[in-house]
Chains A and B, each alone.
Chain A
Amino acid sequence: MPGDGEPIIRVRDLGVGYEDTVLLEHVSFDVRRGEIFVILGGSGSGKSTLLKHMIGLVEPAGGSVFIDGDDIVTASGDARHAILRKIGVMYQSGALFGSMTLAENVRLPLEEYTDLESDEIELIARMKLSLVGLGLFTGHLPAAVSGGMQKRAAIARAMALDPAILFLDEPSAGLDPITSAELDALIRRLARNLGVTFVVVTHELPSIFAIADRVIMLDRRRKGIVAEGDPRKLRDESTDAWVRQFFNREPEPATAASVGAR
């Protein structure tokens, strides 16, 4: 069973938000080595902000994020650099460099962090792109391929240095069902075959059930984690009204009445 290992990420008492705005308080959870861990929640619940805290892009209001034992919140200089080498990130938009081909995007971290020869780097870059099904598109610019292909190329770039943990921000957002299913299959394959730990932010229900070993659910109104565990069990057995509402795709009961009352 994937994810039976020891925690590779430990989040402790984290205050999630920006400057004066606190979205979530006292957030604590573990991500186990080798599992696909999904962060769920409605729009505006702080999923992506939590991810940004976990990868050290935004300083939290308080608390710690231990990645493989080291706290990314307090780390600086070489220590922080060493932590960042262990992670790869795929941003919601892909964030590929538009002036570089897909292969050049994947080559970039290899060129910066290894002393391999150019042809060796090229082979690794091509193999990473083959792995995500883009072996025939290595010379294409990002603008010349579809949104789904850009996301897959972004995963290949995030995997360039074979990090232990991959963070994916809304990997299925804006994709058609077939491409989305292909991406889910790719994530599962990479996790099972490469042993990579995945932390995925999404609110796409089909993707959640397809890939997640474990999920946490965030609720902005309660400013914290409201459920944690296997998504199928949460859907079938949770006693929390909001969790059931989320999994059953039920609208807010008060919405229609309040609009009508105005």
Chain B
Amino acid sequence: MAALTISDAPDGRRVLALSGRLDATTIRRVWAEGREAIVAAPDRRVVVDASKVDYCDGAGIALLVDLIRQRKAGDVQIAHLAPAFETLLQQFDIRQVGQDLDPPPRRRPAIEEVGIVAAGMGEDLRQQVVFIGETAAALTHALLHPSTIRWKDVWRICERVGADALPIVALISFLLGVILAFQSAIPMRRFGAEIFVADLIGLAMLRELGPLMTAILLAGRSGAAFAAEIGTMTVNQEVDALTTMGLDPVRFLVTPRIIAALLMTPLLTLFADLISLLGGAITLQSFSIPIVTFMHEVEGIVDFTDFMAGFVKSFVFAVLIAGIGCLRGLQTSAGASAVGDAATRAVVSGIVLLVAVDGVFAILYYLLDI
């Protein structure tokens, strides 16, 4: 352990006698006591007697440096420090250590902060517009020249976006059908109108909830994955490598993902519609409505237009999910947290866009009387 003895010599000097082992785990108490002893005697010169110091590492040297810094040059002297430790102390310019401080960061006024945020949003919007243009051009080129599409990548992404998502889509859709059926059947039973629950489930799921819930699931699952994957490629300079090889990152990375999402999202939406109807049908059996009756009722109320109203949305949602995921990935900056930020931004902006576009569809369908 480290110890400190404080005494005043006959010649008026204050003597701080350090002893024992000076390392990061032992010096806390003597550090505080040493500082206090120097501050308490402002008119005395100070000698730190280190003759009984057995061991002194970097932390111990920091203690000695700090004691010297407490006064102007020459007022605190270190005496009898073993040569091995003296060498460590000599490595530092004592006055320089204190001056190495970086200037404290300047606090920006609130108006400047607002301006910076607004400029950032404007830049983000500009990048989105540029990205939409580049993606539209790349997709058009891909449609006109299908052989240029990297189909191997497309099928690999289809498997991850579509087949691998089947269990979670099935679970959520089934539970959605069950919950809708239960929550609406209980109050409607009071009016003997349980049969109309089938109408509610059919219309709500096929027109609205089937496409929207599937898209939100995909935004959380595949949109985040796209952003993280492309973000990691950006951080590792793989995107730079593509560019310098003369390969357009949008054609190479974005197009296959959008095509895969366009192929898989409508299929998953169909799957979600069917599974949710199954959930509703099974639930309504406990309300004495057979599955055949349920299906007959759904067939009666849901026509082809209703089905298509939901189905068309799934194509638009697919482009939004894949596009925003890829964009956030390409916007990834440097650093370990950047990929996480990209994935978070992909999910948040993806879900906001989905809900906003779904609202636009609702107004459009109302105006078109669909």
Question: Once the chains bind, are A138 and B102 in contact (CB under 8 Å)?
Answer: yes
State whether the Cβ of B32 lies closer than 8 Å to any Cβ in chain A: yes
Question: Once the chains bind, are B31 and A116 in contact (CB under 8 Å)?
Answer: yes
For window 115-169 of A, CB contacts with B under 8 Å fall at: 115-117, 120, 123-124, 126-131, 135-136, 138-139, 141-143, 159, 161-162
Chain B binding surface, main DSSP class: helix
Inter-chain CA distance A106–B337, complex, in Å, is 19
State whether the Cβ of B112 lies closer than 8 Å to any Cβ in chain A: no
State whether the Cβ of A98 lies closer than 8 Å to any Cβ in chain B: yes
Known A98-B335, A139-B102; contact A114-B58, beta-carbon cutoff 8 A: no
Q: A97 to chain B: closest CB distance in Å?
A: 7
Known A124-B24, A162-B23; contact A117-B96, beta-carbon cutoff 8 A: no
State whether the Cβ of A194 lies closer than 8 Å to any Cβ in chain B: yes
State whether the Cβ of A239 lies closer than 8 Å to any Cβ in chain B: no
State whether the Cβ of A255 lies closer than 8 Å to any Cβ in chain B: no
Q: B17 to chain A: closest CB distance in Å?
A: 20
Please give me the residue from chain A that is nearest to B56 by CB atom: A162
Question: Once the chains bind, are B24 and A194 in contact (CB under 8 Å)?
Answer: no
A residues in contact with B1, CB < 8 Å: none
State whether the Cβ of B66 lies closer than 8 Å to any Cβ in chain A: yes
Q: A123 to chain B: closest CB distance in Å?
A: 5
Set A99, A120, A139, A194: member contacting B88, Cβ < 8 A: A194
Known A162-B58, A194-B88; contact A99-B336, beta-carbon cutoff 8 A: yes
Known A124-B58, A127-B61, A162-B57; contact A193-B97, beta-carbon cutoff 8 A: no
A residues in contact with B337, CB < 8 Å: 98-99
Q: A194 to chain B: closest CB distance in Å?
A: 7
State whether the Cβ of B180 lies closer than 8 Å to any Cβ in chain A: no
Q: A134 to chain B: closest CB distance in Å?
A: 9
A residues in contact with B97, CB < 8 Å: 123, 126-127, 130, 135
State whether the Cβ of A199 lies closer than 8 Å to any Cβ in chain B: no
State whether the Cβ of A110 lies closer than 8 Å to any Cβ in chain B: yes
Q: A87 to chain B: closest CB distance in Å?
A: 14
Q: Report the number of A-B residue pairs with Cβ-Cβ less than 8 Å.
A: 86
Please give me the residue from chain A that is nearest to B338 by CB atom: A98
Known A99-B336, A116-B27; contact A124-B100, beta-carbon cutoff 8 A: no
B352-370 vs A, CB cutoff 8 Å, 1 = contact: the mask equals 0000000000000000000
B89-120 vs A, CB cutoff 8 Å, 1 = contact: the mask equals 00110001100111001000000000000000
Question: Once the chains bind, are A120 and B102 in contact (CB under 8 Å)?
Answer: no
Inter-chain CA distance A116–B32, complex, in Å, is 10
State whether the Cβ of A7 lies closer than 8 Å to any Cβ in chain B: no
Inter-chain CA distance A162–B27, complex, in Å, is 14
B residues in contact with A129, CB < 8 Å: 100
Question: Once the chains bind, are B335 and A113 in contact (CB under 8 Å)?
Answer: no
Question: Once the chains bind, are B25 and A143 in contact (CB under 8 Å)?
Answer: no
State whether the Cβ of B84 lies closer than 8 Å to any Cβ in chain A: yes
Q: A237 to chain B: closest CB distance in Å?
A: 34
Q: A26 to chain B: closest CB distance in Å?
A: 36
State whether the Cβ of B121 lies closer than 8 Å to any Cβ in chain A: no
* Interface core residue of A115, A123, A136, A195 (most chain B CB under 10 Å): A123
B residues in contact with A114, CB < 8 Å: 24-25, 28, 59
Please give me the residue from chain B that is nearest to A138 by CB atom: B102
Please give me the residue from chain A that is nearest to B23 by CB atom: A162
Question: Once the chains bind, are A162 and B59 in contact (CB under 8 Å)?
Answer: yes
Question: Once the chains bind, are B28 and A193 in contact (CB under 8 Å)?
Answer: no
Known A115-B28, A135-B97, A143-B335; contact A127-B65, beta-carbon cutoff 8 A: yes
For window 60-100 of A, CB contacts with B under 8 Å fall at: 97-99
Known A127-B58, A162-B59; contact A117-B32, beta-carbon cutoff 8 A: yes
Can you name 10 extra interface pairs (CB under 8 A) apart from A127-B92, A194-B58? A99-B336, A114-B28, A115-B25, A127-B97, A161-B24, A162-B23, A162-B57, A162-B58, A194-B57, A195-B84
Q: What are 6 A-B pairs at a CB distance below 8 A? A: A120-B66, A130-B96, A131-B91, A136-B100, A161-B24, A193-B91
Top 3 A-B pairs ranked by shortest CB distance?
A162-B57, A139-B102, A135-B100
